[in-house]
Structure 1
């Protein structure tokens, strides 16, 4: 059953409060472990505890408020159903564990065959990114847009790494970008990398394989901020994960050529309703 605009309005209002409360939990865990040696057991304990606590909080709030909605989380999994919340409680865990304030809580809501809502919150920097399908993207309430970079020599791309794909593909993509004249960096949080593309802080982000909880909110942010992306949902990404590309339009082709990730030419829709994970829960 398709959700109405009123249904999505209700979930959008709920998401604002949910993202704030989840971010507060994440910040508490981060603050308690800051200053601990990364080689000690302590930071990892705080990370594990915080990951679990944030996801449990998000999952319970959704179950209480919208029991008809599905859920898919990095820590506890789930069976999304036809409409679902997709959650990464802490993206950028290596940064979190070493007291680097570049991590986030990522929450997306999928319904009517596409991503409807997305939130990415970096609690350490007090930055909240929110997007709604067809209604733009914002950081801390202000509208954001992708960069207007059109000279490849002026670009700064980010390239995420995944051991799910051969190392040779990653190295080849990096070489292609460097030879094209771009600067390439890696900041170890894919969700934040996508948010920075939406905010014009980076000209593009690509990763050869991402899980849906890492990227769905960010891909919506980029599209709503005027950027272009590769296909993800339409390529079965909700089920299996997949390649991710997002960029400002003028230089997106360079990123696509270097990585071999195609650009999306239409809506990124769920195209396999017969798959069990897409059926109503």
Structure 2
């Protein structure tokens, strides 16, 4: 690993744990938080999101002032180094504010429009997923390698939905998965379900529209564990737009691609 990537990977891992500790403190006293509604009850945000992102953003700016930074809460600051950090301070805010453990800190670094670092930290479970380009993926230090014998018929597939997708389309996706002999799960955090794909807990994950901060860390994890992802455009205005997200092991990819194309 070259030094530029190694130093950023080290910081990303440190920040995942540190930000996770701050977020967990908010989680443990969530009843005192001021909860705001964005568009509807499926898309909530709290003071915790903003403060966790500020922590990560400031630490990155201190260490790598020329790096770009895209966060869900405060948007894009362009850089000149060629590296851009893409961060969701708390992915799964609905589970977070409702007292469920399926939320995480998602930190990615992108270079040449590809994720080269992916760190997802799950504070409630103390699970630390980490990957860097060419270095493989790990969960709490254990190397992750996807099992090609797992497929849509003998494993679980993650499905995501949000208010950018009609209920009818979500129903079609679920029907298609079930018709192929599969079964599905949704836990409220797309980033975490992508980490589950990398760890083999899910055989694949599909969501018709996701933002870069929700999926870039997970994409890096899945690819470094030996999986496949649907190409996700990151150039220009694409960086801020939502796109389909599909990630799986090699055995499930064509089935999920057929679901996407249906």
Q: TM-score, normalised by structure 1?
A: 0.84
Q: Look up the SS of the partner of 2:175 in the other structure.
A: helix
Q: State the Cα distance separating 1:141 from its structure 2 match.
A: 1.0
Query: Structure 2 regions of 5+ residues with no counterpart?
Result: 37-43
Q: State the Cα distance separating 1:155 from its structure 2 match.
A: 2.4
Residue 87 of structure 2: aligned partner: 87
Q: Look up the SS of the partner of 1:206 in the other structure.
A: strand
Residues in 2 aligned to 1:175 and 1:116: alpha-carbon distance in whole angstroms: 35
Residue 51 of structure 1: aligned partner: 49
Report matched runs for 1:86-125 at 5 Å: 86-125=86-125
Residue 8 of structure 2: aligned partner: 11
**Preserved CA contact (<8 Å) 1:29 1:47:** no
Question: Which is richer in helix?
Answer: 1
Deviations 1:228-280 (A, max 9, x none): 1101136874231200000111121111101228xxxxxxxxxxxxxxxxxxx
Greater Cα shift, 106-115 or 175-184? 106-115
Residue 249 of structure 1: aligned partner: 250
Residue 58 of structure 2: aligned partner: 60
Query: Structure 1 regions of 5+ residues with no counterpart?
Result: 262-281
Question: Which is richer in strand?
Answer: 2
Equivalent pairs counted in the alignment come to 252
Residue 185 of structure 2: aligned partner: 185
**Preserved CA contact (<8 Å) 2:113 2:234:** no
Q: Look up the SS of the partner of 2:109 in the other structure.
A: strand
C-alpha spacing 1:100/1:147, structure 2 compared with 1 (3 Å): farther
Residues in 1 aligned to 2:33 and 2:14: alpha-carbon distance in whole angstroms: 30
Greater Cα shift, 234-243 or 58-67? 234-243
Which of 9, 14, 21 lines up with 1:24 in the alignment?
A: 21
Greater Cα shift, 11-20 or 175-184? 11-20
Residue 276 of structure 1: aligned partner: none
Q: Look up the SS of the partner of 1:214 in the other structure.
A: helix
Q: Look up the SS of the partner of 1:188 in the other structure.
A: coil
Greater Cα shift, 16-25 or 232-241? 232-241
Q: TM-score, normalised by structure 2?
A: 0.90
Residues in 1 aligned to 2:35 and 2:98: alpha-carbon distance in whole angstroms: 9
Residues in 2 aligned to 1:99 and 1:43: alpha-carbon distance in whole angstroms: 15
Residue 227 of structure 2: aligned partner: 227
**Preserved CA contact (<8 Å) 1:91 1:105:** yes
Deviations 1:87-136 (A, max 9, x none): 10000011001110110000000113321111000011000100001110
RMSD: 2.1
Which of 74, 77, 82 lines up with 1:76 in the alignment?
A: 74
Q: State the Cα distance separating 1:80 from its structure 2 match.
A: 3.5
Residues in 2 aligned to 1:29 and 1:150: alpha-carbon distance in whole angstroms: 37
Q: Look up the SS of the partner of 1:250 in the other structure.
A: coil
Residues in 1 aligned to 2:206 and 2:23: alpha-carbon distance in whole angstroms: 26
Greater Cα shift, 47-56 or 149-158? 149-158
Q: State the Cα distance separating 1:162 from its structure 2 match.
A: 2.3
Q: Look up the SS of the partner of 1:153 in the other structure.
A: coil
Residues in 1 aligned to 2:13 and 2:152: alpha-carbon distance in whole angstroms: 36
